[in-house]
Amino acid sequence: AYNFNAGPSALPLSVLQKAQEELVDFKGSGMSVMELSHRSALYEDVHNQAIALLKELYGMPEEYEVLFLQGGASLQFAMVPLNFLAEGQSAGYVMTGSWSEKAYEEANKLGQVYQAASTKEESYRRIPAPSELQIQPGSAYLHVTSNNTIFGTQWSDFPETGDVPLVADMSSDILSKPVDVKKFAMIYAGAQKNLGPSGVTVVIVRPDFLERATQNVPTMLRYDIHVKNNSLYNTPPTFSIYMLGLVLQWAKEQGGITAIARRNQEKAGLIYDAIDQSGGFYKGHAEKDSRSLMNITFRLQSEELEKKFLAEAKSAGFVGLNGHRSVGGCRASAYNAVPVEACQALRDFMLEFQKNNG
């Protein structure tokens, strides 16, 4: 199958094969990695290697902490304000799509928030320009969604926020392109798009930001508790973390993030070209300079034609091309594990479909 699912999404075939190979006997233990105690040396190796690999791939400054949590990115929508939005302070949210809205709404239940910018009135077709951002001095943090999975837009350059800590939801583009981690006080991402299977959420946090966190929060929701315990305060999602480690190893073998980014450019370029050269037969949702390399969203001239396109694509072996249920249309999610050939095949299919229906 050509898997263009938006999430959970494709995993590298070699990773699945490696997991299959090791499934019932992990490194001669006679047990599956799922059966190992999370306190065993064998498991701790898996855990610590995954942390080290993520740091290495991003060239992260040593002091940054990497956490493996549960509850998905959705729990981070609450955990961030619970820990960092103190009384008397407010936090800014840049509204670039449905996930930003969810993050904002969750924080709004817990403290004072404001919208530093929003492109909602333009159907979230673009990322706001830096000059549009109104960041209130003294804000607890500024929250951005680096890639908007549903609308298909992506930040290319992150805003300068001065003294205001920058927090990013990178669920749908983590590990897809080089990012200067130093710019961020915190990054979080559900694993199920570029990092592995669902069940684990990666949090990258700078210790000086952590020092601002309130401790008046239930234990499991405190970042400092997870840092102190190396994400082993309670039983972590061991199998998901093992799979994440395999994906990171795969990413390293691909030549690291820069090589992956180059490939992602090429992949998305194939599909955007088909859109741009269609003379309006396919219409991209995002403005060109806000286009996502991960989620390519487009429409056809009528819903009827879209239905036909999606049905024929399905028969031709393309999976997951339906747009999100809230917006309709079509969406091709070309995450890291989607091979160039799948994007080439989709482009060919799009050209052919246009020839027969244009």
**Binding-site residues for pyridoxal 5'-phosphate:** 73-74, 99, 149, 169, 192, 234-235
Of 134, 153, 150, nearest to 142 (Cα)?
Answer: 134
d(CA 354, CA 358): 5
Catalytic residue among 169, 173, 177, 267: 169
Q: State the minimum distance, in angstroms, from the CB of residue 300 to ligand PLP.
A: 24
Q: State the minimum distance, in angstroms, from the CB of residue 146 to ligand PLP.
A: 8
Torsion of CA 121, 126, 130, 134, to 10 degrees: 20
C-alpha distances (whole Å) from 66 to each of 188, 226, 256, 272 are: 10, 10, 18, 34
Indicate whether 171 belongs to the interface with ligand PLP (CB under 6 A). Answer: yes
d(CA 24, CA 20): 8
Catalytic residue among 55, 155, 173, 193: 193
Indicate whether 124 belongs to the interface with ligand PLP (CB under 6 A). Answer: no
Indicate whether 83 belongs to the interface with ligand PLP (CB under 6 A). Answer: no
Q: Pick from 96, 149, 249, 336: which binds ligand PLP (CB under 6 A)?
A: 149
Of 4, 10, 8, nearest to 332 (Cα)?
Answer: 4
Q: Pick from 3, 5, 7, 93: which binds ligand PLP (CB under 6 A)?
A: 7
Indicate whether 231 belongs to the interface with ligand PLP (CB under 6 A). Answer: no
Tell me which H or E stretch contains 65.
strand 65-69
d(CA 259, CA 102): 32
Indicate whether 65 belongs to the interface with ligand PLP (CB under 6 A). Answer: no
Catalytic residue among 99, 173, 177, 267: 99
Q: Which is nearer to ligand PLP, 139 or 149 (CB)?
A: 149
Of 141, 133, 137, nearest to 113 (Cα)?
Answer: 141
Q: Which is nearer to ligand PLP, 123 or 301 (CB)?
A: 123
Q: State the minimum distance, in angstroms, from the CB of residue 191 to ligand PLP.
A: 8
Q: Which is nearer to ligand PLP, 74 or 115 (CB)?
A: 74
Q: Pick from 65, 106, 169, 306: which binds ligand PLP (CB under 6 A)?
A: 169
Indicate whether 194 belongs to the interface with ligand PLP (CB under 6 A). Answer: no
- CB contact burial 281-302 (16+ within 10 A = b; e otherwise): bbebbbeeebbbbbbbbbbbee
The helix/strand/coil state of 286 is: coil
Indicate whether 73 belongs to the interface with ligand PLP (CB under 6 A). Answer: yes
The answer to whether the beta carbons of residues 236 and 47 sit under 8 Å apart is yes
169 given a catalytic annotation: yes
Indicate whether 240 belongs to the interface with ligand PLP (CB under 6 A). Answer: no
Indicate whether 108 belongs to the interface with ligand PLP (CB under 6 A). Answer: no
Identity at 121, one-letter amino acid code: E
Count residues contacting ligand PLP (CB under 6 A)?
11
Applying CB under 6 A, which residues contact ligand PLP?
7, 72-74, 99, 145, 149, 169, 171-172, 190
List residues with catalytic annotation.
Answer: 99, 169, 193
